[in-house]
Chains A and B, each alone.
Chain A
């Protein structure tokens, strides 16, 4: 492929992914709200509600507070939205290979996941509001808190794949080609199930949803990080939130549920792409339901001090137990 072809593919792929992220992200937010409403015995808003909200926000006045730093205040939402779209480019969507193909691996994605959060922190500090400042400080604490269990999960998976003789265990293609469940014995399956649960519990913190939304805490911090944002900028954060939901669910799907329908049922390539895509969406919805909607409806918010001990202590220990099981499983064959 010539350079022009590659550039064209990347540009078109990025645009397609941005469109997909926008539509799927807002839809998943709508479905989440609808499901949460049903769980609370309400009817809930229509599924297209987030689209209406964004359309309205784009019409609103864009207020910049007097003691804000304007360029940073305006840049933060753009960076947050753009960086979430960027992560999407590294993730396989159903049978469709990621746009940036083999260029990135799991470690890169774990790092990229911090960029939207850091953009929100920068925006919060740039707002010049005490509420936003406290929110930004909390966001940084939470960022450091969930990093440990997330890193344990990622390392455990890659280590087990390497122990099973897979070359380049951190690459998503290798993970997709060797579903982790098939590699291990019963002990390892328990270990991976634990890691899957941990990833599901890291998701709400990454998305700042209840019970880990101490940085936005409407009742104490009046919206925290986002307190000063209105209009277009707030709409960008809103959309980034939707895309991030898709990213986290797609990451869990890519690592733990990488199967495609076309692996099991024979079909022509054209049908396979559509079927795999639909199957991928179903898996994403399932993961989003369990890791976002169900947790957020059934829990109250943790205090910021509790969040750190929950992640470092409880999920850290749980992750190490999972890692230990996987290590034992790897050596069980040798003994």
Chain B
């Protein structure tokens, strides 16, 4: 099978639509609280934005937005493990557990996840149970539907896919 998808049309969006896209009602909860995301916003803007962009778009450092980025980190635990050791370069790992959790919450929110009642906590099992693609997918799609200009948040998948895309692959069981 040739794994080429020719689904959605090409849609470009203005950068401002990015931020506005996600203020939509919450039908699903992303495993973090609104307070965490708010505190995370402050921390992110102070410690990360100068390189990763005020809207997480980069480009002085890799962008932190999009379903593919979420997919690559896989879970909140994957993202937390990386940033809590490696970032920011001026003080790697030095911001403290709480701040890193808040920043994860903020990155999730910016990617379309919705806050809920349960806070994100520094328990490896719990963090590993928060699937980033699942939590952010609907938000991204919903915001896209709400505003055509933000279709890009769902990702323009009008591109070739991996040869194995859509195939059942063995899943790791630790």
Binding partners A and B? no
Q: Could you tell me which A residues sit within 8 Å of B by CB distance? A: none
